[in-house]
């Protein structure tokens, strides 16, 4: 599965939201699995949208055919667009499905990992972080994705901001030390996204 992560700064909120609803046109596109997104809880004008495709071939076909028509409704409503593609490597918890209706927030952690630490980073994600997240109340599902250049995306969905906040306070610092995260990660940026139900496709 291919994961597409889009981040941008919105300059016309009403126009952007109106355009975002037009992406319902993705339904019926070959290989499309689901899309959701919302507003950053840390930067009020920042939006994140995550979409899922069965394969790169289906995604490339969509980009060549239908993308520009759907996108036209949002032209001029945002700036600073950044797009990253990741290959799904493994699930956080089990049986990841690209559904958003049972989650309230999504946590995105984008990590650039030192080349010689990539295998260690993936191993501790599987053996330390995944069980901790999977066992946390309110954690719905998640995935670990990889892109060229030793870049990784850890995506986790949570029932509420409060549940994610509890996990953050109670476990993250201790787990960071145990996983030797600072030795692995050259750069980390992330966000917590308040999902907008009307954007879910």
Task: State the residue range of the domain holding 105.
Answer: 2-199
Q: How far is 158 from 137, CA to CA, in rounded Å?
A: 9
> Residues 4, 59: contact at Cβ < 8 Å?
yes
Residue 26 pLDDT greater than 90, yes or no: yes
Mean pLDDT of all residues belonging to the chain? 95
Cα–Cα separations (whole angstroms), residue 141 to 16, 73, 164: 28, 31, 12
Number of separate domains in the chain: 1
At residue 93, the pLDDT reads 87
How much is the average pLDDT of 94-110? 94
> Residues 163, 102: contact at Cβ < 8 Å?
no
At residue 136, the pLDDT reads 92
At residue 139, the pLDDT reads 95
pTM: 0.94
The angle subtended at Cα 97 by Cα 48 and Cα 165, nearest 5°, is 55
Residue 34 pLDDT greater than 90, yes or no: yes
SS3 content of the chain, % helix, strand, coil (to 5): 40, 40, 20
H/E element, 114:
none
Q: How far is 75 from 77, CA to CA, in rounded Å?
A: 6
pLDDT in tens, 175-188: 888 889 999 999 99
CATH number at residue 131: 3.30.70.100
């Amino acid at each position: 599965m291919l994961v597409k992560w889009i981040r941008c700064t919105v300059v016309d909120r009403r126009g952007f939201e109106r355009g975002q609803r037009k992406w319902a046109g993705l339904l019926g596109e070959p290989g499309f699995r689901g899309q959701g997104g919302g507003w950053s809880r840390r930067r009020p004008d920042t939006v994140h949208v995550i979409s899922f495709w069965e394969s790169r071939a289906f995604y490339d076909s969509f980009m060549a055919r239908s993308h520009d028509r759907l996108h036209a409704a949002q032209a001029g409503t945002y700036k600073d667009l950044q797009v990253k593609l990741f290959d799904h490597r493994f699930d956080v918890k089990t049986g990841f499905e690209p559904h958003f209706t049972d989650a309230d927030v999504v946590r995105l952690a984008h990590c650039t990992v030192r080349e010689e630490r990539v295998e260690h980073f993936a191993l501790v994600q599987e053996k330390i972080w995944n069980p901790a997240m999977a066992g946390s109340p309110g954690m719905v599902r998640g995935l670990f994705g990889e892109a060229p250049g030793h870049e990784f995306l850890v995506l986790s969905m949570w029932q509420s901001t409060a549940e994610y906040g509890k996990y953050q306070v109670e476990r993250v610092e201790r787990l960071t030390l145990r996983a030797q995260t600072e030795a692995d990660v050259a750069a980390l940026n992330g966000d917590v996204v308040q999902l907008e139900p009307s954007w879910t496709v």
